[in-house]
Amino acid sequence: MTPERYAQVKELFQTALDLPAKERAIYLGKACGGDQALRAEVDALLEETERKTAAVLKAGVLRPGKTPVNTMGAMTRWVGRRTNKRWIGIAALLVLGLAGYFVYRLIQQTMVRQVENHLISSLDSSAVALDLQIAKWMAGAEYLAGGPRFIEDVSRLLEKAGKQIPPYDKRLDEWRRPILQRIEGVRRIEKFAFFILVDRFGHSIADEGSGLMGTKPSRFGYGLLGDVIGGSSRFIAASTRRLTADHPLEGELLNRHYVATPVKDREGYVIAALVLGYPAQESLAEIMRAGWAGTSGETYLINAEALILSGSRFPVEHEAMNEAARKTPKGMVLPKLWARDPGGDVMRGYKPKENPRTWTRTPTAANAITRRYTQHETLEGVVMEPYRDYRGVLSVGAWRWLPKHDIGMICEMDAGEAFAPLRIMQASAGGLLLLGALFAGAWIWSLIYLSKVQGRLEGIKTVGQYTLESQIASGGMGEVFLANHSLLKRPTAIKIVRQDLVTPQLTEKFVREVTLASQLRCPYTVQIYDFGVAQGRLPYCAMEFVPGLNLDEVVKSGGPLPAARVIHILRQVFESLAEAHGAKLIHRDIKPHNVMLAELGGRSDVVKVLDFGLAKAVESEYGADSAPSLVAGTPAYLAPERIHSGGLADPRSDLYACGMLGYFLLSGEEAFRAGPKLFNDILQKEPPVTEQLAAAPEDLRRLVLECLAKDLDARPASANGLVERCELLGREHPWPQSEARAWWAARR
């Protein structure tokens, strides 16, 4: 068989091995296609594996002895006492229920505050961007109005007008032309859409040919230009009101935002005002886009009439909204949106019937505009009680009135999206209450059941060829015992799976994966000597007993390790993983507790990687040395892709855990602390560079941080490559045996 053929058969065999019979047949039919020889080879391997598994299951026995050993751990021993613990359990449930309620309320308040902070932060960033944009427009207008030649041309036009000829008379076009040429020159740079030059009385004396020449300002127009004629520049937001008193077009302000600046002569006397207009929707829509978040969050501007000045994130609604807007008085400019409640969800097909100006303002718009007119000292706030926004969709929002520009800013998000985590938590709390009730009912039954199990297991002393001596560890998966082989008299660690976890499917998978793990021969991997099924039901495996310390104990007893020692340890871990990955095995639970350090074979600081294959056999194992998680593995050492994909692993996921291990050894602490934000930190934050990590050799620090890359493809490609890098680092930063022996001698 060629190497290529072997690799193909091996890949199909290992994939099919984990599939149920029906799915396995469908998979092989598709994968093998018409290659019957390939199918026959894979089927032969599957049949041989099933035959051996059945033989192992049939051969497992437990033989009674004289000395009782409790293999159900601390829980069973506690149950075996004669003291009645039922009322203690019920009281504990009540305490837990109350604690859970207060924790729920605390989390609820925290989530609401997070939404509030997010909305306010969006307003802050959008307000800064708006100030910068308006300042840019004003700078362009002031640059043009302050030009010596521009001032000279305007002064000449007004001087030629005199008392007999008004400055907007067509007979003065010869002196008006240089002014228009200078404005057009700047227009190509500043990209404004409209301009007009007015005298001190508000009459238009030069424009772009819009028909406004000579028109008088309305009272509203006088109010807007009053500050400018007084010598100050200002921003004028779009509005539905008239700018001029006698021009036939109403709402000419609606299409544009304006900046107006005074034109002063050499003595500083205001002789005219220059007004530049920018498209209302397009000019500020892009700035407000920075405040969008998620799928529904948006930030927009309003004026004192509740008119939305910066467009909408949801253009699909314009038709429905404009259908009502077309019923507005003649001459109004379309399209336009209002920060008013249309009365129903436009997104779901509701069509407003009334004039939009008759709709009730949304709470955020109403608060902002009311504070504007009352000149209240507080000009911002949040509305966390869901309300219908301008689309009629239930939302929450924050508002702020900007007196400097006389406009309001609103940031909103659909209530469903804003409170989605809270609703999940509410559903979870309801489920937990139900589970609590069921647990209370099952409490007495569990006591009786575990007592019976204890009675059945008392008197067990041997497992296969191994004599159990003492229990050395207990966890959620089962118990670990120190044992001796009856003939070889070799100290051995026996791990027996807990009886209440055992199912036929788990037993079969356990045997299959331990079979694969037993083929590993790396000196830095704990060797599996034997495995089987005790008493016809309890899976167990016999492993190499390592008399040493795990890395968590090493660091906690002496603090962060020297860089040279970390390199020495990581090289051995990478060598163990390199062999495993080559055999298509992924550890999935590399952590300090699963890496032992010992004195073996006359050498000190020998690494032994524990629990190959066992994490895959029982998906929810946890106990004294690990925390519960939704996927196999310890939460603080889970790679980002395993959180995203619900536990699916890649060999580079092990390398990420090794990066976390290296970080722990160098810093003396984990990169991300356990807590409700742990997964969020793993997915979004970079590991902080501690003082110890910063002091480590640059090449070592780079190796650790590369392993911790969020992107799977940004990590080192294989454990083999990391072994070579550690060997090079070890030559520059050696960890001599003399120092290792001295460390162990000090702890004897």
DSSP string over 345-374:
-GGGT----S-GGGSEEPHHHHHHHHHHHH
Instruction: Give the confidence band of 435 by pLDDT, cuts at 50, 70, 90.
Output: confident
Least confident of 90-94, 213-217, 245-249: 245-249
Are the CB atoms for 79 and 72 separated by under 8 Å? no
Residue 665 lies in a domain: yes
Which token pair is 693? Answer: 């990590």
DSSP tag of 503: -
DSSP secondary structure of 544-562 = E---EEEHHHHHHHH-SPP
Q: Is 624 exposed, middle or buried (0-12, 13-18, 19+ CB in 10 A)?
A: exposed
Instruction: Provide the residue range defining the domain that includes 518.
Output: 63-69+459-539
Say yes or no to pLDDT of 93 above 80: no
Flag whether pLDDT at 252 surpasses 80. no
Q: Are residues 490 and 578 in the same domain?
A: no
Q: Per mean pLDDT, which range of 65-79, 331-345, 567-581, 667-681 is the poorest?
A: 65-79
d(CA 506, CA 511): 9
568 and 467 within one domain: no
Read off the tokens for 567.
Answer: 């390199």
Residue 394's pLDDT is 93
299 contacts 291 by C-beta, under 8 angstroms: yes
566 pLDDT band, cuts 50/70/90, is very high
Instruction: Evaluate whether residue 89 is within a structural domain.
Output: no
- Percentage of the chain exceeding pLDDT 70: 76
Q: What is the mean pLDDT of residues 489-508?
A: 80
Q: Is 163 contained in some domain? A: yes
List the CATH number of the domain containing 246: 3.30.450.20
Instruction: Please check the confidence at residue 370 and state whether its pLDDT lies above 60.
Output: yes
User: Which residue from 219, 203, 396 is spatially nearest to 298, judged by alpha carbons?
Assistant: 396
Mean pLDDT of 531-548: 82
Helices in 33-85 by DSSP H: which ranges? 36-59, 73-80
Average pLDDT, the chain: 78
Contact between 539 and 533 under an 8 Å Cβ cutoff? The reply is yes
> Both 312 and 195 in a single domain?
no
Asked if 493 contacts 501 with a C-beta cutoff of 8 angstroms, the reply is no
Angstrom distance (rounded) from CA 596 to CA 605? 9
Is residue 224 domain-resident? yes
Map residue 337 onto helix, strand or coil.
coil
What are 182's two structure tokens? 């200078």
Cα–Cα distance between 67 and 462 in angstroms, integer? 10
pLDDT given for residue 373 in this prediction: 85
Q: How far apart are CA 499 and CA 533, in angstroms?
A: 11
Q: Is 486 left (phi over 0), alpha (psi -120 to 50) or beta?
A: alpha
Output Rg (C-alpha) for the chain, integer angstroms.
38
Q: Is residue 373 part of a domain?
A: yes
Last residue of a domain, one of 481, 505, 539: 539
pLDDT at 644: 75
Q: Are residues 190 and 248 in the same domain?
A: yes
Q: Is the pLDDT of residue 405 over 50?
A: yes
Please indicate, yes or no, whether residues 571 and 719 belong to a single structural domain of this protein: yes
Helices 420-457, 73-80: crossing angle, 10 deg rounding? 60
Burial of 133 (0-12, 13-18, 19+ CB in 10 A): middle
Which of these three, 539, 568, 588, is where a domain ends?
539
Residue 187 is encoded by which pair of tokens? 């227009």
- Residues 713, 585, single domain; the answer is yes
Q: Categorize the per-residue pLDDT at 77 as very low, low, confident or very high, splitting at 50, 70 and 90.
A: very low
**pLDDT tier, 331 (very low <50, low <70, confident <90, very high otherwise):** very low
For 278-296, b/e burial (b = at least 16 CB within 10 A) is: bbbbebbbebbeebbbeeb
For residue 735, the model assigns a pLDDT of 93
Residues 164 and 276 in one domain: yes
Phi and psi, residue 235, nearest 5° = -100, 135
Residue 93, domain member (yes or no)? no
pLDDT in tens, 132-149: 989 999 998 999 999 999
pLDDT, residue 318, reads 45
Q: Does residue 534 belong to any structural domain of this protein? A: yes
Between 255 and 614, name the one with better pLDDT: 255
Which has the higher per-residue pLDDT, 239 or 727? 727
pLDDT at 75 exceeding the cut of 60: no
Q: What is the DSSP letter of 475?
A: B
Distance CA(472)–CA(491), nearest Å, equals 12
Q: Do residues 531 and 596 share a domain?
A: no
Q: Please state, in angstroms and rounded to a whole number, the distance separating the CA atoms of residues 491 and 388.
A: 72
Whether the CB-CB separation of 599 and 554 falls below 8 Å is answered with no
Backbone angles phi, psi at 685, to 5 degrees: -100, 150
Q: For residue 467, what pLDDT band results from cuts at 50, 70 and 90?
A: confident
DSSP state of 748: -
> Tokens standing for 682?
């793993």
Extended strands (E) in 423-535: 460-463, 466-474, 478-485, 491-497, 528-534
Rounded distance, CA 176 to CA 680, Å? 64
**739-743 CB contacts, 8 Å cutoff, 24+ apart:** 739/565, 740/565, 740/568, 740/603, 740/604, 740/605, 741/599, 741/604, 743/604, 743/605
Rounded Cα–Cα distance for residues 199 and 270 (Å): 9
CA-to-CA separations, 409 to 375, 379, 412, in angstroms, rounded: 16, 11, 10
pLDDT of 216 > 80? The answer is: no
Q: How many domains does the chain have?
A: 5
Exposed/middle/buried for 219, CB within 10 Å: 0-12, 13-18, 19+?
exposed
Cα 95 from Cα 104, distance rounded (Å): 14
DSSP characters over 411-441: EEEEHHHHTHHHHHHHHHHHHHHHHHHHHHH
**Burial (CB count within 10 angstroms: exposed 0-12, middle 13-18, buried 19+), residue 316:** exposed
Q: What is the pLDDT of residue 278?
A: 85
What is the per-residue pLDDT for 332? 34
Among the candidates 12, 38, 59, a domain finishes at: 59
Q: Can you list the alpha helix ranges (DSSP code H) found in 173-218?
A: 173-190
Please check whether residues 681 and 614 belong to one and the same domain: yes
Cα distances from 509 to residues 330, 479, 516, 528, 650, in angstroms, run: 77, 19, 11, 16, 19
169 catalytically annotated: no
Phi/psi for 626 (5° steps) reads: -155, 160
pLDDT digits (tens, 9 = 90+) for 309-323: 887 887 644 444 554
3-state helix, strand, coil in the chain (%, to 5): 50, 20, 30
Q: What is the CATH number of the domain that holds 471?
A: 3.30.200.20
Q: How far apart are CA 162 and CA 156, in angstroms?
A: 10
Residue 507 belongs to some domain of the structure = yes
CA–CA gap between residue 590 and residue 660 (Å, rounded): 9
The Cα–Cα gap between 448 and 191 comes to: 83
Most confidently predicted of 1-10, 274-283, 622-631, 653-662:
653-662
Residue with tokens 């296609």: 33
Range with the lowest mean pLDDT among 29-38, 290-299, 308-317, 486-495? Answer: 308-317
CA distance 651 to 529: 25
Q: Are residues 588 and 730 in the same domain?
A: yes
Q: What is the CATH number of the domain that holds 640?
A: 1.10.510.10
User: Which pLDDT value is given to residue 168?
Assistant: 65
Least confident of 51-55, 109-113, 354-358, 554-558: 51-55
Highest mean pLDDT among 363-367, 467-471, 617-621: 363-367
Check pLDDT > 50 for residue 63: no
Q: Is-contact 260 228, C-beta < 8 A?
A: yes
Within this chain, do residues 307 and 263 fall inside the same structural domain, yes or no?
no
Where is average pLDDT lowest: 250-264, 377-391, 665-679? 250-264
The C-alpha torsion from 669 through 570 and 589 to 684, rounded to 10°, is 50
CA 33 – CA 39 distance, rounded (Å): 9
For the chain, how many residues are written? 748
Dist CA 416 CA 394 (whole Å): 8
CB 606 within 8 A of CB 551: no
- Of 171 and 308, the one with more pLDDT: 308
The rounded distance, in Å, linking the Cα atoms of 730 and 28 is 47
**Spatial separation of the C-alpha atoms in residues 325 and 333, rounded to whole Å:** 10
Shared domain for 472 and 414, answered yes or no, is no
Letter string b/e over residues 415-442, b meaning 16 or more CB atoms within 10 A of that residue's CB: bebbbeebeeeeeebeeeeeeeeeeeee
Three-state secondary structure call for residue 581: helix
Q: How confident is the model at residue 705 (pLDDT cuts 50, 70, 90)?
A: very high
Instruction: Determine the pLDDT at residue 573.
Output: 95
What pLDDT is recorded for position 607? 93
**Residue of 153, 207, 589, 611 with catalytic role:** 589
pLDDT value at residue 606: 93
Question: What is the identity of the amino acid at 535?
Answer: Q
Buried b (16+ CB within 10 A) or exposed e, 691-706: ebbeebeeebbebbbe
Name the least confident of 159-163, 274-278, 345-349, 653-657: 159-163
Residue 64: asked if its preceding bond is cis (omega within 30°), the reply is no
Q: Which residues contact 71 (CB under 8 A, 6 or more apart)?
A: 457, 460, 471, 478, 479, 481, 496, 538
Q: What is the pLDDT of residues 419-429, one digit of tens each?
A: 887 777 767 76
